[in-house]
Amino acid sequence: MLHTRICDRLKVAHPILGAPMAGAAGGELAAAVSEAGGFGMIGGTTPDGPDALCAMIRAAKARTDRPFGVGFISSAPGLDALVRVALDEGVAALAHSFADPTPWVQAAHDAGVKVFAQVQTVAQARIAAHAGVDLIAAQGTEAGGHTGYSGLLPFLPAVIDAAEGIPVVAAGGIADGRGLAAALMLGAEGAWIGTRFVASAEALSAPWAKSRVVEAGTDDTVLTRVYDLATQAPFPPTVGDRVLRNDYTDEWHGRNDEVVRNREELAGRIGASIQAGDTRVAPVRAGNAAGLIHDIRPAGEILRSIVEEAERILRERPRQVIR
């Protein structure tokens, strides 16, 4: 059986966290991941505000007694009120990404709540370690949605080296047992998985988004700013957005100044395309792991198959490659 330090610290059976994904990971998905023995997380940054987050947390509690967390886009406005709700509701952990987690650590710890930091650079990992977070997610550029520019293979060990002994998990590109086994061999304590769970029965994502993830191949993503610039999304300029390529990204990727000049018209087109489920323009946030995803399944089944495959590989592969 796979077992790492985070299994004890997070009180879970398997070293897998469901990534917090705004618009995709609600209470149902977080609960399904936790019920299957992982650590589920709700994407807590919602345009509908604290009441909507409270409803998601309660939906998760109604489905599981196991621990789960809430993760934020911490560069977005309104964070204070969202954090308050999550603390009041007594979730097990809060995750911060895209901003320095330092201001949020003490109050969470005082309430007995763990703090995770998702980082895109080694410098951010050092800041998170200094802030005293309980877990660091090293996010490689392969990841779906907003992410940085370093590949997980070199980035993960560099973050582990900088983490001062704080457990580090791998985020980006992990959709099966091969990815989990590789991350564990690099020294990660587990995997923080997003795109694979977008294509799950419990994800909040629209059916057209789930279908596109299943259809997409490894080569079909682009790391771009053409949605964020048009919609004025609150991310730092050092962060890109990995989405599935479509007519909109083919037309506008790399033309950032023109996107800004045409902002209003493009934001209108994007909004309308989301309403209509028109994936020629609508963003579908997904990582390179899309190429490894061939079906939409219940999250618990997905989690169990990743764990079983990783266990098998970690037992058999060393015998094949060491004499």
Strands 168-171, 145-147: pairing kind: unpaired
Of 283 and 300, CB closest to ligand FMN: 283
How far is it, in rounded angstroms, from Cα 252 to Cα 256?
7
Give min distance, CB of 9 to ligand FMN, in A.
19
Tell me the residue type at 222. V
Of 7 and 195, CB closest to ligand FMN: 195
Q: Would you call 213 helix, strand, or coil by DSSP?
A: helix
Residues forming the site for ligand FMN (CB under 6 A): 19-22, 24, 43, 45, 71, 73, 97, 118, 139, 142-145, 171-174, 192-195, 198, 285-287, 289
Of 27 and 43, CB closest to ligand FMN: 43
Give min distance, CB of 262 to ligand FMN, in A.
25
Q: Which residue is nearest to ligand FMN (CB)?
A: 194
Give min distance, CB of 71 to ligand FMN, in A.
5
CB 187 within 8 A of CB 6: no
Give min distance, CB of 173 to ligand FMN, in A.
5
How far is it, in rounded angstroms, from Cα 205 to Cα 286?
11
Of 174 and 259, CB closest to ligand FMN: 174
How many CB atoms within 10 Å of residue 168?
Answer: 29
Give min distance, CB of 184 to ligand FMN, in A.
16
Tell me the residue type at 65. D
Give min distance, CB of 87 to ligand FMN, in A.
18
Of 258 and 297, CB closest to ligand FMN: 297
Give min distance, CB of 21 to ligand FMN, in A.
3
Of 93 and 171, CB closest to ligand FMN: 171
Of 24 and 163, CB closest to ligand FMN: 24
Residue 167 DSSP class: -
How many CB atoms within 10 Å of residue 111?
Answer: 13
Measured CA distances, 272 to 224, 231, 258, 281 (Å): 20, 12, 20, 9
Give min distance, CB of 146 to ligand FMN, in A.
6
DSSP notation for 95-136? EEESS--HHHHHHHHHTT-EEEEEESSHHHHHHHHHHT-SEE
Of 12 and 290, CB closest to ligand FMN: 290
Tokens encoding 234: 């609150």
Tokens encoding 82: 């969202």
Q: What is the CA radius of gyration of the chain?
A: 19
